[in-house]
């Protein structure tokens, strides 16, 4: 039996009537906006798709139209509710009437939109990104990195024209204490559909020079809430989490925390907060150094004063001892000199007497043959006497030098310098353990200080 033959118009009309009977009322359809454009007349044309979750391939596609009078209400309602622009790449749930035109074919006539579905999908994707990072074991990697004590060299990923970047530089360059930072900009798109890929490319450029930098700052100066979706992407968050240099984020939103913020070493709400953090690190180290220097100066001053007082005390105690020893040495030296002079005078007197006797003998024998030999002997005796006097005075002088040297060696100050110690008890030098008794207080003076002690036990040397 031959099947019925339709004209194209009959077939399209039959399809249209079948669809009208099957879907007579408005229904809800969910999908992803693949393309969206607004005409001059104000109508909005959307290409709605569904993708396979495993392969990301498009498995269904349909045209949808939001007429101008409806689009003027739906667009601000959706964006106010979600903080998200109506744009490609987002998932939406639309209330539609199914239309089939004999010429233009199948399409969807949009009547309403559900913001809650889009918000839920965004949050779902955000949570999926976090879960995947945790399953990969990389979520905390960058957060565990140690920020250097003085992060001076900074790689900045931002748009060169962004106000946030200019604010960041101004904050660093005009800090109160004039700390100097070395900043290198790695330009990137910070918003839009390509933002995540652009920031990743900038991170890869920093990675090639990672040894030059202490930290990486990813900053942007505000923007639409929808622009934050790039910073919730697994592609970008994974690169930040595994980056070998500490990453600081300041992407310009007070209320929202992105996945990029969560995996970064430190996150801040604004670019200026990032720069303030860096300046505060330097200020903290500067204050610490100042406090340490103040404490050190105080301790040095206290130690100098303490040791000066100790030295003054030692000088006061040892001065009488040294003065007594010096006076005694001077007295012994004067006595020795006097004894030498007396001995010399006695010797000369004796020789004079013998010389007088010789003269008298000479006078007595002057007329005899004995005169000449005695004259020679007398002259020799005078020479010998002179030489012996000179020799004796030299010997006495040498003995005096030895005595003076012994006195110098016995000077308590010199003995203290050689490591000896002096024991004082009741302002007298203790020369024997017999001068001490149990529980006596005594003072031991050494070259660099003094020791106050009490006698606990005495061990006399019975052999001495």
Kindly report, residue by residue over 101-132, the tens digit of the pLDDT: 888 888 898 888 888 776 767 777 888 888 89
pLDDT value of residue 198: 93
pLDDT value of residue 451: 87
Q: Which of 178-192, 349-363, 382-396 has the largest mean confidence?
A: 178-192
Nearest to 212 by CA among 244, 179, 187: 244
Average pLDDT score, the chain: 82
Q: Which two tokens stand for residue 415?
A: 């003995």
Q: Which residues contact 205 (CB under 8 A, 6 or more apart)?
A: 186
Q: Which of 73-77, 277-281, 297-301 has the lowest mean pLDDT?
A: 297-301
Please tell me the distance from the alpha carbon of residue 231 to that of residue 48, in angstroms, as a whole number.
24
Nearest to 314 by CA among 392, 424, 390: 424
Please tell me the distance from the alpha carbon of residue 242 to that of residue 141, in angstroms, as a whole number.
6
Q: Which residues contact 186 (CB under 8 A, 6 or more apart)?
A: 155, 156, 157, 202, 205, 206
Residue 215 has pLDDT above 80, yes or no: yes
Please tell me the distance from the alpha carbon of residue 203 to that of residue 187, in angstroms, as a whole number.
10
93 backbone dihedrals φ, ψ, rounded to 5°: -120, 120
pLDDT value of residue 2: 61
Name which CATH class applies to 136-269: alpha beta
Number of Cβ atoms within 10 Å of the Cβ of 149: 10
As a whole number of Å, the end-to-end CA separation of the chain is 151
Confidence of residue 231 (pLDDT cuts 50, 70, 90): confident
How far is C-alpha 189 from the chain's CA centre?
34
Number of Cβ atoms within 10 Å of the Cβ of 278: 25
Q: Which of 72-76, 198-202, 402-406 has the lowest mean pLDDT?
A: 402-406
Give DSSP secondary structure letters for 313-377: HHHHHHHHHHHHHHHHHHHHHHHHHHHHHHHHHHHHHHHHHHHHHHHHHHHHTTTSTTHHHHHHH
Residue 88, classed as helix, strand or coil, is: coil
Where is pLDDT greater, at 392 or 273?
A: 273
Q: What's the average model confidence in pLDDT over 385-407?
A: 75
pLDDT value of residue 391: 81
Please tell me the distance from the alpha carbon of residue 84 to that of residue 118, in angstroms, as a whole number.
9
Inter-CA distances, 67 with 26, 43, 116, 145, Å: 16, 5, 22, 53
Q: Which of 7-11, 280-284, 405-409 has the largest mean confidence?
A: 280-284
Residue 285, classed as helix, strand or coil, is: helix
Name which CATH class applies to 8-113: mainly beta
Q: Which two tokens stand for residue 403?
A: 């005595």
Q: Residue ranges per domain, the chain?
A: 8-113, 136-269, 306-412, 421-464
CB 240 within 8 A of CB 206: no
- pLDDT (tens digit, 9 = 90+) per residue, 350-381? 777 776 776 666 565 554 555 566 667 767 77
Nearest to 445 by CA among 406, 412, 410: 412
Q: Which residue has the tokens 């490609």?
A: 88
Please tell me the distance from the alpha carbon of residue 68 to that of residue 46, in angstroms, as a whole number.
13
Q: Which two tokens stand for residue 30?
A: 């969910």
pLDDT value of residue 362: 55
Q: Which two tokens stand for residue 234?
A: 């697994």
- pLDDT (tens digit, 9 = 90+) per residue, 285-325? 878 777 777 788 778 777 777 777 777 777 677 767 667 76
* pTM exceeding the 0.75 threshold for the entire prediction: no
Please tell me the distance from the alpha carbon of residue 278 to that of residue 136, in angstroms, as a whole number.
31
Residue 410 has pLDDT above 80, yes or no: no
Q: What's the average model confidence in pLDDT over 448-459?
A: 84
Per-residue burial over 215-253, b = 16 or more CB atoms within 10 Å of its CB, e = otherwise: bbbbbbbebeebbbbbbbbbebbbbbbebebbbbbbbbb
Q: Which residue has the tokens 């008298």?
A: 360
- pLDDT (tens digit, 9 = 90+) per residue, 14-62? 888 888 788 878 888 988 888 999 999 999 999 999 888 788 888 999 9
Confidence of residue 153 (pLDDT cuts 50, 70, 90): very high
Please tell me the distance from the alpha carbon of residue 438 to that of residue 420, in angstroms, as a whole number.
23
């Amino acid at each position: 039996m031959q099947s019925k033959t339709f004209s194209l118009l009959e077939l399209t009309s039959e399809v249209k009537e079948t669809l009208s009977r099957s879907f007579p009322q408005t229904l809800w359809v969910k999908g992803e906006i693949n393309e969206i454009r607004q005409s001059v007349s104000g109508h909005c044309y959307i290409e709605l798709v569904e993708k396979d979750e495993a392969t990301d391939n498009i498995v269904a596609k349909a045209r949808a139209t939001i007429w101008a009078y409806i689009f003027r209400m739906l667009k601000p309602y959706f964006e106010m509710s979600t903080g998200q622009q109506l744009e490609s790449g987002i998932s939406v749930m639309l209330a539609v009437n199914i239309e089939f035109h004999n010429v233009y074919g199948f399409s969807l006539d949009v009547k309403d939109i559900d913001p809650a579905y889009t918000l839920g999908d965004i949050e779902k994707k955000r949570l999926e990104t976090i879960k995947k990072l945790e399953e990969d074991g990389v979520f905390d990697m960058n957060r565990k990195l140690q920020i250097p004590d003085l992060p001076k060299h900074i790689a900045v990923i931002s748009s060169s024209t962004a106000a946030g970047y200019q604010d960041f530089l101004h904050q660093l360059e005009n800090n109160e204490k004039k700390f100097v930072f070395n900043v290198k900009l790695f330009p990137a798109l910070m918003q839009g559909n390509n933002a995540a890929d652009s920031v990743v490319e900038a991170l890869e450029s920093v990675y090639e020079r990672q040894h030059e930098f202490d930290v990486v700052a990813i900053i942007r100066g505000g923007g639409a809430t929808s622009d934050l979706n790039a910073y919730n992407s697994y592609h970008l968050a994974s690169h930040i989490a595994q980056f070998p240099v500490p990453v600081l984020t300041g992407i310009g939103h007070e209320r929202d925390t992105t996945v990029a913020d969560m995996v970064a070493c430190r996150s801040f709400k604004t670019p200026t907060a990032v720069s303030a953090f860096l300046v505060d690190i330097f200020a903290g180290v500067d204050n610490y150094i100042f406090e340490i220097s103040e404490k050190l100066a105080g301790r040095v001053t206290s130690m100098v004063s303490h040791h000066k007082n100790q030295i003054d005390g030692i000088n006061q105690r040892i001065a009488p001892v040294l003065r007594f020893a010096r006076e005694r040495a001077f007295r012994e030296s004067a006595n020795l000199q006097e004894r030498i002079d007396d001995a010399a005078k006695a010797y000369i007197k004796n020789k004079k007497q013998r010389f007088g006797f010789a003269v008298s003998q000479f006078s007595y024998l002057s007329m005899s043959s004995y005169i000449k030999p005695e004259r020679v002997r007398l002259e020799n005796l005078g020479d010998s006497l002179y030489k012996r006097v000179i020799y004796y005075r030299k010997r006495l002088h040498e003995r005096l030098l030895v005595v003076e040297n012994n006195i110098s060696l016995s000077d308590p100050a010199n003995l203290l310098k050689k490591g000896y110690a002096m024991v004082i008890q009741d302002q007298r030098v203790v020369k024997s353990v017999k001068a001490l008794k149990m529980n006596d207080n005594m003072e031991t003076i050494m070259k660099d200080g003094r020791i106050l002690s009490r006698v606990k036990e005495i061990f006399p040397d019975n052999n001495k």
